[in-house]
Structure 1
Amino acid sequence: MAGFVFGLVLHPTRDVSEVVGIIERWAAQHGKTLAVRTEDGHRVPPSVRLLPAAELTDRSDALISIGGDGTMLGALRSAVRDPKPVLGVHLGRLGFLVEVEPPELPRALERLVAHDFTVESHACLACDVCGDDVVAFNDIALVRQPGAGFVTATLAVDGQRYGYYRCDALVVSTPTGSTAYSYAAGGPLISPAAQAVVVTPSAPMAGISRSVVLSPDEAVHLELRPDSAPVAVEMDGLVIREAATEGAVHVRYVRDAGQVVRLDPRRHQERNQLKLSLLDLPLLPDQLRELLPEGLRDQLSRRELPPSR
């Protein structure tokens, strides 16, 4: 166990020093090794080993994602060719994948090293985007540019043409991604235990106007029509093409492409159900606060007070 290596995957912009400090102190006490990408070396203590990005996953026994769901998705994509357990530490505002809060880290790390956890397997979408190979764990989306018209594309499944879309955006998602862009566009919630591919149009103007739920064994092919406006292509919310005017996106479902660490699956599921219900409430954060018991409101207010000088 002394050779156990944790690979740290950091949120690209947020301050992660407090969480990294907790992990670094625990690792020093227990004789474990921490590693991070070379380009993130200035954000971690000197004791953390620096590795080329291409080697971080290969030389780690587990990954620790410090951020929100976006950071977690990046960690999963980095390990897609050699899946490693990924523990998510929460720094975001509304995470569905991450589970652990910073104060829970020492116990979580002990359980991770002892293999006292369950693995939640996640599928991904292997996509050929206009000739470039990319991987998405949430979704791949074709999105119109404001003021430039509509996304117009045809849909074919296993080579059979289904019809066409004319819409603001066209989202192909995994069950994990069904709570993200697809959900915002009116798509169905798919259980993470299910295996399916969902194609959802956002603000459809013509053509197919409902979500299409497909088998994981069916290949999805979207092709821009000549009358389509230039579109941006997003992978897990990241823009990978800014103004495509022609070409196709071919999507294939890949099972067991990612391993998410779950320490308390039932509690995590209950939290996610609550988060989804809050998304549908048309209330601002201050209005939601008024729904809390008075004692809990006071606790939150004290936490948010600036430190005394």
Structure 2
Amino acid sequence: MKSIGIVANPKKPKAKKSIQKIILWAKRNKIDCFFSDELKNLISKKEKLLPLSTLSNESEIMMSLGGDGTMLKTARAVGRGGNPILGINLGSLGFITETTSKNLDNALRKLLKKEYQIEKRMVLKAKIDKKNQPSMFALNDVVIDKGGVARLIQMHLYDGEDFVCSYSADGLIISTPTGSTAYSLATGGPIINPKTNAIIVAPICPHTLASRPIIFSENHHLKIVVECDKRDALFTVDGQIDKKLISGDSVLVSKARHTVNLIKFPGSSFYSVLRKKLHWGARPSIEE
């Protein structure tokens, strides 16, 4: 390993201390460090700053210091590059991150000795079906919702050319297995092992008792047609990028060709994370 790129949430109290620890470790092991330019106030002027959009071009491995939001931001910056990403949680939940600032020394040791595996995570490709609209990519989910108005919108779901159903709801979540433990879970969506490739469609507050989440295989191409009268709806990618939709707009969603490659250490388990962070399977305790 010759170089690493560091993305961090500068608002996290533990960010500066963790970054300094990584800098010292990298210097001892003759590894070049490159930093996202938003970290300029946390590091000395002699360190190498780069725009987030080009950081992965100079970095063999990416490190993401923060929470899941920082991980999603890092994954989007890497894009098709495929650089492995190590997530270091500096926040509370950090469901996608692999380790914590408390275990940083041990993580760096394993990284140097290459005691890790690469876990490929499926990515969604989403696009508004209009001329000159760019494709966007989501590690977690794509969401279509009613925006700031407390009123239902109509959405019509197609699987290729086949009409699936119509939704009268606050919105619709189209999720990856990685995103199945995020917003989709809050709507009653299923938990799917992130090594599985599938697409989950889950309505948000549907105005019916008969509407439930549905799972499609990875090769299906979905289209959602929006009806929202004279007001705008909102199209959001990984909770970080949004675009307005008008009535009649269609959103196309399918599996992307590239994956996000996460660094995983031996003994890491999706199910242990479920138990620890979401209290999966825990029985309620009654204190007298």
Is the pair's TM-score, using the shorter chain for normalization, greater than 0.5? yes
Q: By how many angstroms is 1:17 displaced?
A: 0.5
Residues 1:211 and 1:269: Cα distance change in structure 2 (over 3 Å): same
Q: Which of 155, 158, 162 is the matching residue for 2:157? A: 155
Give ranges in structure 2 of 5+ residues lacking alignment. none
TM-score by length of 2: 0.89
Are 2:250 and 1:248 aligned?
yes
Match of 2:108 in 1: 109
**Is the 2:10–2:16 Cα contact (8 Å) retained in structure 1?**
no
Are 2:144 and 1:142 aligned?
yes
**In 2, Cα distance between equivalents of 1:12 and 1:224:** 38
- Deviation digits for residues 109-150 of structure 1, max 9, x if unmatched? 232233220111101101103533211000000122344421
Match of 2:265 in 1: 263
- Deviation digits for residues 163-211 of structure 1, max 9, x if unmatched? 2111012000000000111110111111112110000001101497111
TM-score by length of 1: 0.83
**Is the 1:152–1:228 Cα contact (8 Å) retained in structure 2?**
no
- Deviation digits for residues 232-266 of structure 1, max 9, x if unmatched? 22211124125644411101112651111111344
- Deviation digits for residues 8-51 of structure 1, max 9, x if unmatched? 01115334101111111111222211111234322323343112
Secondary structure of the structure 1 residue equivalent to 2:143: strand
Provide the identity percentage: 28
Comparing 61-70 with 205-214, which one deviates more in the overlay?
A: 205-214
**In 1, Cα distance between equivalents of 2:102 and 2:209:** 50
**Is the 1:148–1:229 Cα contact (8 Å) retained in structure 2?**
no
Q: Which of 1, 11, 14 is the matching residue for 1:13? A: 11
Match of 2:234 in 1: 232
Match of 2:215 in 1: 213
**Is the 2:219–2:255 Cα contact (8 Å) retained in structure 1?**
yes
Secondary structure of the structure 2 residue equivalent to 1:161: strand
Match of 1:64 in 2: 63
Report the structure, 1 or 2, having the larger helix content: 1
**Is the 2:141–2:179 Cα contact (8 Å) retained in structure 1?**
yes
Comparing 173-182 with 153-162, which one deviates more in the overlay?
A: 153-162
Residue 118 of structure 1 aligns with an amino acid whose one-letter code is Q
Secondary structure of the structure 1 residue equivalent to 2:125: strand
**In 2, Cα distance between equivalents of 1:150 and 1:280:** 35
Secondary structure of the structure 1 residue equivalent to 2:7: strand
**Is the 1:63–1:84 Cα contact (8 Å) retained in structure 2?**
yes
Residues 1:246 and 1:41: Cα distance change in structure 2 (over 3 Å): farther
Secondary structure of the structure 1 residue equivalent to 2:279: helix
Secondary structure of the structure 2 residue equivalent to 1:43: coil
Residues 1:100 and 1:70: Cα distance change in structure 2 (over 3 Å): same
Residues 1:267 and 1:210: Cα distance change in structure 2 (over 3 Å): closer
- Deviation digits for residues 68-100 of structure 1, max 9, x if unmatched? 111111111111211111111111211111121
Q: By how many angstroms is 1:278 displaced?
A: 6.5
Match of 1:172 in 2: 174
Match of 1:93 in 2: 92
Comparing 83-92 with 252-261, which one deviates more in the overlay?
A: 252-261
**In 1, Cα distance between equivalents of 2:16 and 2:240:** 25
Give ranges in structure 1 of 5+ residues lacking alignment. 283-287, 292-309
TM-align CA RMSD: 2.5
Residues 1:248 and 1:83: Cα distance change in structure 2 (over 3 Å): same
Residues 1:12 and 1:21: Cα distance change in structure 2 (over 3 Å): closer
